[in-house]
Structure 1
Amino acid sequence: MKSRWDDLEALLAVVDAGGFTAAAERLSTSTARLSRAVSRLEKRLETTLVHRTTRRLDITEEGEAFIAQARQALGTLETAEEALTVRRREPAGRLRVDAATPFLLHQIVPHLAEFHAAYPKVRLELTTHETNIDLIEQRTDVAIRIGRLEDSTLHARPLGHSRRRLVASPAYLERYGTPRHVEDLAHHVLLGFTHLTQLNRWPIGDGRTIQPTLASSSGEALLQMAEADVGIACLADFLTRGACQAGRLTVVLDDATHERHEPIQAVYYRNTALHGRINAFLDFFADRLTL
């Protein structure tokens, strides 16, 4: 395909220069090479485009029509190449990002206005799933995943680590008392997950799996339940930090909680066309995450 465009450019150079010799001098190539390029075009088109003489170059009627369309085609190609170059410099187009609801709400949404101001031509589409998804099946460009990765076909960019802690509201603790030992949890309302049962293995004591008194499939729902004085939840710092700083939640059994840090990574398939958008998104948010 490239040689076909090269042959077109050779023909236009010959026509613009008024002959093969002048065109060869302008392009720092040989007249023989230009002649072969034009001959290939004529053979492919099964028509004569130019009549070659020692003194002048005569363009046939078919050549005139073809050259006019060739100029238009090359102009369109150059415009497309220039637009793509600019697009790579200035990210533009759709970018579909998936993350668990709590991560999206507490780490991405607060910075969306700033991101849009910085990259107004990037059209973000945000989706939420509480479990890992198939990026191709869900037409997703980037997914934020928490925990160890299993799919080695994906490119992964580390974003940080997450630590889980036990939290409850001051009002709940005033009503039911603050647990001082792990064994005290047996007398409390424990909030856990319905589907992500591995998250019901709390990082305390021997890493026991709790039996939730109340459960939800959503970490965000558990956060709201804890803030509403319902019980004790074990949630990631990136989810509870704001509530703890505002005094709506209090960390309990901190000394008995193991420091287990789960990796947080952005995963995606390598795609040259999306490279600029993905990098812009990840570079921007990597500096703003509070994990």
Structure 2
Amino acid sequence: MKSRSEDLVFLLAVVDSGGFSAAAEHLEISVTKVSRAVSRLEKSLDATLLNRTTRQVNLTEEGQAFIAQVRAGLSTLEEAEEALAVRRQKPAGRLRVDAANPFVLHQIVPHVKAFREAYPEIELELTASDRMVDLLEKRIDVAIRIGPLEDSTLHARPMGRSPLSIVGSPDYLREQGLCQTPDDLAKHTLIGFTAPETLNLWHVGDGLQI
């Protein structure tokens, strides 16, 4: 038993290619099969869809109205089939994610429960490191980094911005006084990072390296 959707595909091929022979060649089937499909449609609809001559095939007025609806319907059907196929492809396997300790603790860990419920077949592996690691060597799938990235063949995209603030303890500021200008920072005791050095470049004034 032939499906109606298959017959409609054959009809579209005839219309788009301009004839039964061209449609059969495109579909890699026999001309007889294409002709029978169109005849079945016309019989079931009790309407003539195509005007056939020895040289060309044209849509009738009824055929033009019908074919417009067919295109829209088949497009909707294809979208539905694609959506169903995607839903059946459940993500699975191990996913290794690396980020700095504070980011893992405060931004990722709170969402782990919901993630596992949504993707139960994914084995999530989190690593927290404050140093730059070789992502390929450690077989990291996703790395979250803060600051400018070096040239790389890896794919990257921005996730957001994290504004920075310069702060001091109340006791320290009472003893040393407040900063009135960016240049005043050079006179104060500043806390930086041992690595990476890029984190010790403060974008204030003309720039301050601590």
TM-score (norm 2): 0.50
1:175 shift after superposition:
5.2
1:169–1:106 distance in 2 versus 1, CA, 3 Å: farther
Looking at secondary structure, tell me which structure has more strand per residue. 1
- 1:214-233 mapped onto 2 (5 Å cutoff): none
Q: Distance in 1 between matches of 2:192 and 2:108?
A: 24
CA distance in 2, matches of 1:166, 1:193: 14
Query: 1:112 deviation in Å?
Result: 1.9
Question: Which stretch has the larger CA shift, 170-179 or 160-169?
Answer: 170-179
Instruction: Tell me the residue number matched to 1:157.
Output: 157
* CA–CA separation in structure 2 for the residues paired with 1:150 and 1:203: 18
CA contact (8 A) 2:99 2:127 kept: yes
Question: CA offset at residue 208 of structure 1?
Answer: 1.6
* Amino acid in structure 2 at the alignment position of 1:196: P
Deviation at 1:170, TM superposition (A): 4.2
- Give the match's secondary structure for 2:138: coil
Cα distance, 1:206 vs. partner? 1.1
Q: What runs of 5+ residues in structure 1 fail to find an aligned partner? A: 1-28, 30-84, 211-291
Matched position secondary structure for 2:153: coil
Q: Structure 1 residues 189, 156: closer, same or farther in 2, change over 3 A?
A: same
Match of 1:133?
Answer: 133
Aligned length: 129
Q: Which residue of 1 aligns with 2:99?
A: 99
TM-score with structure 1 length normalisation? 0.38
1:80 aligned residue: none
Q: In structure 2, the residue corresponding to 1:156 is in which secondary structure?
A: coil
For 1:244-269, what per-residue CA distance to the aligned partner results, in whole angstroms no more than 9, with x for missing partners?
Answer: xxxxxxxxxxxxxxxxxxxxxxxxxx
Alignment RMSD (CA, Å):
3.0
Percent sequence identity over aligned pairs: 58
Q: Secondary structure at the match of 2:145?
A: strand
Contact 1:96 1:127 in 2 (8 A): yes
- On the 8 A contact 2:183/2:205 being kept in 1, the answer is no
Aligned to 2:194: 194
1:95 Cα offset (Å): 0.6
Q: Matched residues in 2 for 1:204 and 1:107: separation?
A: 27
Letter in 2 for 1:113: K
Query: Is there any run of 5+ residues in structure 2 with no aligned partner, and where?
Result: 1-28, 30-84
